[in-house]
Amino acid sequence: MGDAFDKDLSFQIGQKHVQKYLPELLNQIENGDLKPDAIISHRMKFADAVEGYKIFNEQTEDCRKIVFTP
């Protein structure tokens, strides 16, 4: 935080209303109205999370969203 202060940076933060919309979202996914696969580009095991974050950060592949599973 000190570095940000020294550089005269400002932050704007806010809370998203995930809990408010989650039940409706899940309902639409279950009904097939929404297709999360449209944004999920990668599925990986938790054990491969370091590699997944590297792929996402460096954009070495067309990576939009990664779902990690146990």
Domain ranges of the chain: 39-70
Give me the pLDDT at residue 13, please.
78
Give me the pLDDT at residue 1, please.
64
Give me the pLDDT at residue 53, please.
93
- DSSP string for residues in the chain: -HHHHHTT---------HHHHHHHHHHHHHTTSS-GGGT--EEEEGGGHHHHHHHHHHTSS--S-EEEE-
> Would you give per-residue pLDDT tens digits along the chain (70 residues)?
677 778 888 877 777 778 888 999 999 999 999 998 888 999 999 999 999 999 999 988 989 999 999 9
Quick check: 51 and 27 in contact, CB under 8 A? no
Give me the pLDDT at residue 65, please.
92
